[in-house]
Amino acid sequence: MSAEQKIAVIGAGAWGTALAIQLARNGNKTQLWGRDPNQIEHMASTRHNSRYLPDAPFPEELDVTSDLATVVTQHRDLLLVVPSHTFRSVLGQIRPHLSQESRIIWATKGLEVESGQFLHQVVAEELGEDIPAALVSGPSFATELGKGLPTAMTAASHQSDFLPDVVRYFHGKNLRMYTSEDVVGVELGGAVKNVLAIAAGISDGLGFGANARAALITRGLAELMRLGV
């Protein structure tokens, strides 16, 4: 990776904004793309994403844009943070602007709704098998990462030589990035753990207390392990 590390984040929702802040916080020249020009203009003037992360000011290294073609053309490394149901569509939008040097990372969780495919399969279908590709996932909240609170995530890729660059982008004082070559395991874990998180939230909302939450998490982890094995 060059001395000046540059990366573009595609998707200016809560999670995309939090990851862009983390990348810029680490000294990477980061450009955040959003599809709504009015929202992007407001973010540029206030240096906040007031809709999703009002308490997380943008670092100096973070810029925003609504020009997708330009941001894709100007960056070798692209981090996609869009909903899973729009993932394939966004890949189709960026495909004409990619170069032979382009590399794709995604932080989108879940499976493709229509086909049930893993997202790495969607990437291969839309962009080809040879493009360097990786995903980042983990138990994390956008608001906490945006504030710089301690977080741990995993980067996974079938191309092991790509992983060190991904780690260098994200790893910092507040974020520990682990690595894995088990792309399916990380994708599946990132999707199904949300079911457990929703169940824990329902339990809390019903006032069932810490015992019920602990039981849900313990038994849920056991089920996740059986699913993975």
What's the CA angle centered on 187, arms 148 and 27, to 5 degrees? 30
Q: Is residue 29 annotated as a catalytic residue, yes or no?
A: no
What's the CA angle centered on 140, arms 53 and 174, to 5 degrees? 80
Measured from the Cβ of residue 165, the count of other Cβ atoms closer than 10 Å reads 19
**What single-letter amino acid sits at 180?**
S
Instruction: Give the separation between CA 150 and CA 172, rounded to whole angstroms.
Output: 10
Catalytic entry in 6, 29, 147, 193: 193
What residues are paired with 53 via a beta bridge? 49
For the four alpha carbons of 208, 212, 217 and 219, in that order, the dihedral sign comes to negative
| CA-closest candidate to residue 57, choices 71, 73, 66, 46 | 46
The dihedrals phi and psi of 28, each to the nearest 5 degrees, come to: -80, 135
User: Which residues carry out catalysis?
Assistant: 193
